Amino acid sequence: SEKYGFSPSQFACMFIPNTYEIYSTFSSDDFISFMATQYKTFWNSNRLEKASKLGLSQSEVTILASIVQSEQSLKYDEHSKIAGLYINRLNKNMKLQADPTVKFALNMPELKRLYYRHLEIDSPYNTYKYKGLPPGPICIPDPRVIDAVLTYQKHTYLFMCAQPTFSGYHNFSSTNAQHEKYKKEYTDWLKRENIH
């Protein structure tokens, strides 16, 4: 990983999901070298300029995209809005408080609901405990999600909560008071639906 300029925790940032044609004679080293070339192609001057304007490195953009994709794996039209929310939190020096990072730290990706006891895990991936981005991506994000981060939606939202429906969408708010109202609606719905 260091040969390609990545720390071990950020090495996954080099892999850009796509459909590639490779040969059966490729060794693992050939494959890694091939992926490094694809990475350099993906991170063209346009994307590099957008990352620079955000004040984030390519790896940091990918790490943020991994969180955005893990927050919203169903509705791609929400990605740029979620990215904007996390960028707002980073700019205000707030903790990201992203549930998927805690699930990653716990190695429990299928966990439906986080409780306070889950938020206590001492891990650099626990964004409820530590400010800033985690040390590496929590998944390998789709290139469309990386682009959604680079072209994030500008707004004042700082909070999001799943809607109390099976729609897969979120309610967004700029104030904690509004967020608490949405959170109560959601937890009441979870109880009614008997979701643990």
Give residue-wise pLDDT tens across range 146-156. Answer: 999 999 999 99
Q: Is 113 left (phi over 0), alpha (psi -120 to 50) or beta?
A: beta
- Mean pLDDT, rounded, for 17-34: 89
Q: How far apart are the first and last CA of the chain?
A: 39
* CA distances for 137 relative to 35, 110, 134, angstroms: 17, 17, 7
- pLDDT at residue 196, rounded to an integer: 67
pLDDT digits (tens, 9 = 90+) for 162-195: 999 888 899 999 999 999 999 999 989 988 888 7
Handedness of CA 148, 130, 102, 12 (dihedral sign): positive
- pLDDT at residue 69, rounded to an integer: 96
Indicate the average pLDDT of the chain.
92
- Mean pLDDT, rounded, for 5-31: 89
Is it the case that residue 1 has pLDDT exceeding 70? Answer: no
Percent pLDDT > 70 in the chain is: 98
Burial 24-51 (b: 16+ CB within 10 A, else e): eeeeeeeebeebbebbeeebeeebeebb
Is it the case that residue 105 has pLDDT exceeding 70? Answer: yes
Is it the case that residue 47 has pLDDT exceeding 80? Answer: yes
Query: Within a 10 A sphere around the Cβ of 52, how many other Cβ atoms?
Result: 11
